[in-house]
Amino acid sequence: MSTDDAQSSFLTIPFFGVIASVTLILARKYFKGAQFEEHVSAKGKIAFVTGANNGIGKQTVRELNQRGAKVYMLCRSIDRGREAMLDLVKVHFSKSNSLMMSYIIVPIA
C-alpha cells in the first residue's frame, strides 16, 4: 500500500461521513414538514374545542387561550373537564404571564 492510497482513504472516510450527515439532516427536514411558527392573535375570537380534557384538544385549548381567545371546552365528563382546566391553569399560568386563563366547560354526553 503506497502513501497515496493511505492519504486517499484517509480523506475518503470523512468526506462520505459529511455527505451522509448532510443528507440525513436534509431528509429529516423534508419529512418533518412545514411548521407553523407565526404568532397569530385570537383576541376577541370564540373557540369551541371538543375532546378538550386531554391530548390534542387540551393543547389546542392552551394555545388558543394563550393567543387571547375565549375557549369553550367541550368534554364528555364535567369532572375530567374541570381537572383538565385546573391542570392547564396550574401548569401554564404564572405571575409573569399577564394573560388570564378562563374556561367554560360544556358537557356533551
Residue 102 is given by DSSP the state: -
pLDDT in tens, 11-53: 788 889 899 999 999 998 888 877 777 888 888 899 899 888 8
Helix 55-66 vs helix 78-92: crossing angle, to nearest 10: 50
In terms of residue numbers, what domain contains 64? Answer: 46-107
Please give the pLDDT value at position 98: 46
- Does some domain include residue 40? no
- Does some domain include residue 41? no
Asked if residues 75 and 61 have their Cβ atoms less than 8 Å apart, the reply is no
If you write DSSP's letter for every residue of 3-31 in order, what string do you get? HHHHHHHHHHHHHHHHHHHHHHHHHHHHH
Q: Which of the four pLDDT bands, split at 50, 70 and 90, describes residue 94?
A: low
Grid coordinates given for 56: 390534542
Question: What CATH number should be reported for the domain holding residue 71?
Answer: 3.40.50.720
Entry pTM: 0.58
Please give the pLDDT value at position 81: 85
Q: Indicate if the pLDDT at residue 100 is higher than 50.
A: yes
